[in-house]
Structure 1
Amino acid sequence: MLRARRELSAVSARLREQAERPVSGGESALIGMLGDRLVSVLRSHNTPSTLYYVRADGETYVVKVEFGRAPTLRDEIRWYRNAAQRGLPRRLFITGHSGPGLSFLLLKRFGDGSTVDDLALAGESTGQLGRHVARAMDSDTELFHRTQCHVGQDHVHRLTERRLALRRSQAGKFPYLRTLMDVDVVTINGIGLPGASRCLNRVFGDPRLVSYLTPDRVGMTFGDLHCGNILVREGFTEVVDPRGGPLLPITYDYGKLIQSVEGGYGAVMAGRYVLRRTDGTAYEFVPEVVPGYSSVAVLLAASCDELRYLQSLYYAALHFTAMLPHHASAQEETTALYLCGVSLFDKLFTQLA
């Protein structure tokens, strides 16, 4: 055990040295520094972070790295530190540091990386999926209740407006995405639905609807509680990739769960869907139906009263809209996510009617 701590301390010290170099040398220098401790590297096109799996005396750890400014990872480091300062369990967190060259998080590895989405797409039973989702919700809800405060609906709505304005600006760098965002009507499987911008204008232009859908309490949450961030191992559950931005309403995270179990997010991210553009802004789009999620969606809805569920459904639709620029390099995937969002907006307005 002492040897393992020494090796881990050595890895952490070298990472800090690398982080503090204004010119870090990039990934090649990092890989050279990790040497034979490096086990594997995991990258994703929709996140700026790269995961490096390293060994320290027989144990595997995860080093999450972003080079340069690294705003996303800096926020995540801040989240873990805030949690520790509030006396919350450290869970997977070991240490983290942000410097001019790079930012890194050193985390314990939890199982083999299987997620609730992985289990669902593999045909896991509803009961098992429901237990993992319920544990994640309980953990997030406890965190929220321990830190919540009243801020007023105007404050929460301004957070939403700023987030979407930033994403619209980012979307403008991709002509196809800018066109998709601005389209008035999109046809999905022969049914014409209002486009995302039209849906947003409908909500934002109606003060009563904004008031109804916007909560007035915020607190500390995981901030990205979709089923791809809920890790499982032999009956145990852990949530990863917390967001360290502003305090948020709990319906923000419940919306992330609805995004997964009702919105088709996991199926799209796994490439399990059929998408064909038939004419202009008309598409045939069929995400794979995940049988286990149908009952989990019922359980999720039952855990909320009607207002909280509708607010969560609203956030789920917003999440699909806001995430599009992060996926924009993969045009088909981004289009599929956009169509998921439009479908959720349609579900929201149908239930509000």
Structure 2
Amino acid sequence: MLRSRRELHVLAQQLMEQTRRLEPGAKHSLTGMLGDRLLSELHSHNTPSTLYYVLADGETYVVKVEFGHAQTLRDEIQWYRDAVRRNLATNLFITGHAGPTLSFLLLKCFGDGSTVDDLALAGASAGELGRHISRAVDRDMELFHRTQRHVSPSHIHRLTKRRLSQRRRQASAFAYLRALMDADVITINGEELAGASRCLHRITENPRLVSHLTPDRIGVTFGDLHCGNIIVDGTSTEVVDPRGGPLLPITYDYGKLVQSIEGGYGAVMAGRYVLRRRCRTEYEFATENVPGYADLGVLLAARCDERRYLQSLYQAALHFVAMLPHHASAEEETTALYLCGVSLFDKLFARLL
């Protein structure tokens, strides 16, 4: 395909050359190399990646770049390579490479980048949202079923504890975040709720709860199937930003959907929330009501039995806690994400009882 598209082939070769450059100023060198092909670039405070939209052979492509060691992008590149090796669907992937100072992923551009979250916040119906989410879930389940294998729940529990321990260490570098994580009780809109660390301790110290909330199968999944990564173009649907690394339980991705549909993640990331701090552990907080999402609980329930749903709800609460260090430079946003996680833990325990 690359050789049949001359400009795309040249672009891929030039990007490969950039990954071998060791001198400082790699970013300036990259933008200079892209030249007139560069249409726009997109940065985000919560990810090390930069997206460059480029024109080649009359079509738009996305170059996703990270500078330095770039472990996140390295894992994503490996996910795509593994998918190709297994003959799994990779409709967007062109090529990618990880270098010492720069790693890149070259992808087809799909639509205008609108996501299911964008549609939901614009007032799309539950039916329209559900069709896109169902397509994404069907593809994710296909990946999982073709690659799944049995493991002991203790293995998954150890991975979960290791992940949370690492993120807690990262969070401790921020005084406000450390105080939130250490709080035994958080008051939201006048209601006292158990803090996230207290909830986690309550689960991890109870073997019965650990057993009930921990799955025993892992496989290949997209690994980050929240509604901001499900992109749409008319009636077509694609998923971006797969998470490389270890094989995962399917409830990890179901948890990402719960995080979006029931947890308010998309509204927080779009700045569509109200947050007022009354004291160190007392807040008024609400995310924008998204009518289309309010009716999608039925879709999730249809995909899950009660235990799988509880496992997904637990994963969603964990996702909120685990992501906090990556957002920590934006204190209000991070606090809002933490409060979303606390609310989901409260919902989990209400269903467990």
The aligned counterpart of 1:307 is 307
1: CA distance between counterparts of 2:345 and 2:217?
Answer: 23
CA RMSD, 1 decimal = 1.1
Residues 145-165 of structure 1, C-alpha deviations (whole Å, 9 max, x = no match): 000001110110011011101
Q: 1:59-96: per-residue Cα shift (whole Å, max 9, x none)? A: 00000000010000000000000000001122100000
Could you tell me which amino acid in structure 2 is paired with residue 35 of structure 1?
Answer: G
State the distance in 1 between where 2:309 and 2:23 align: 48
Question: Whole-Å Cα distance in 1 between the matches of residues 5 and 170 of structure 2?
Answer: 43
Shift of 1:2: 8.4
Aligned to 1:19: 19
Residue 116 of structure 2 is aligned to residue 116 of structure 1: yes
* Residue identity in the other structure for 1:116: V
| 1:261 equivalent in structure 2 | 261
The match for 1:340 is 340
1:82-116 deviation line (CA, Å, top 9, x unaligned)? 00000112210000000102000000000000000
Percent identity (aligned): 73
Q: For residues 257-313 of structure 1, what are the alpha-carbon distances to aligned partners after superposition, in whole Å with 9 as ceiling and x for unaligned?
A: 000000000000000000000122100001001000011122112210000000000
TM-score when scaled to structure 1? 0.98
Change (3 A) 1:155 1:3: closer
Q: Distance in 1 between matches of 2:134 and 2:198?
A: 34
- Corresponding residue of 2:189: 189
1:136-175 aligned at under 5 Å gives the runs: 136-175=136-175
CA distance in 2, matches of 1:101, 1:10: 21
What is the CA–CA distance in structure 2 between the aligned matches of 1:279 and 1:327, rounded to whole Å?
22
Distance in 2 separating the partners of 1:41 and 1:227 = 22
The answer to whether the 8 Å contact 1:184/1:195 transfers is: yes
Task: Please say if residues 18 and 24 of structure 1, whose CA atoms lie closer than 8 Å, have aligned partners that are also in contact.
Answer: no
Q: CA deviation at 1:26?
A: 2.4
**1:29-178 maps to which residues of 2 (within 5 A)?**
29-178=29-178
Q: Which runs of 5+ in 2 are unaligned?
A: none
Distance in 2 separating the partners of 1:70 and 1:215: 30
Q: Is the 8 A contact 1:227 1:266 kept in 2?
A: yes
Cα distance in 1 for partners of 2:173, 2:135 equals 39
Which residue of 1 is the match for residue 244 of structure 2?
Answer: 244
Q: Which runs of 5+ in 1 are unaligned?
A: none
How far is the alpha carbon of 1:23 from its aligned partner?
2.6
Per-residue CA distance 1:179-234 (angstroms, 9 max, x = gap): 11111000000000010000000000001100000001000000000000000001
Three-state SS of the structure 2 residue aligned to 1:227 is coil
Residues 3 and 57 of structure 1 are in contact (CA less than 8 Å); yes or no, is this contact kept in structure 2?
no
One-letter amino acid of the counterpart of residue 74, structure 1: R
Cα distance, 1:324 vs. partner?
A: 0.3
- With over 3 angstroms needed to count, the CA separation of the structure-2 counterparts of 1:3 and 1:166, relative to structure 1, is closer
Matched positions, count: 353
- Deviation readout 1:34-79 (Å, 9 max, x if unpaired): 1111000001111110000000021000000000100000000000
Q: Which aligned segments of 4 or more residues in structure 1 are displaced greater than 6 angstroms? A: 1-4
**Secondary structure of the corresponding residue to residue 276 of structure 2:** strand
CA contact (8 A) 1:185 1:192 kept: yes
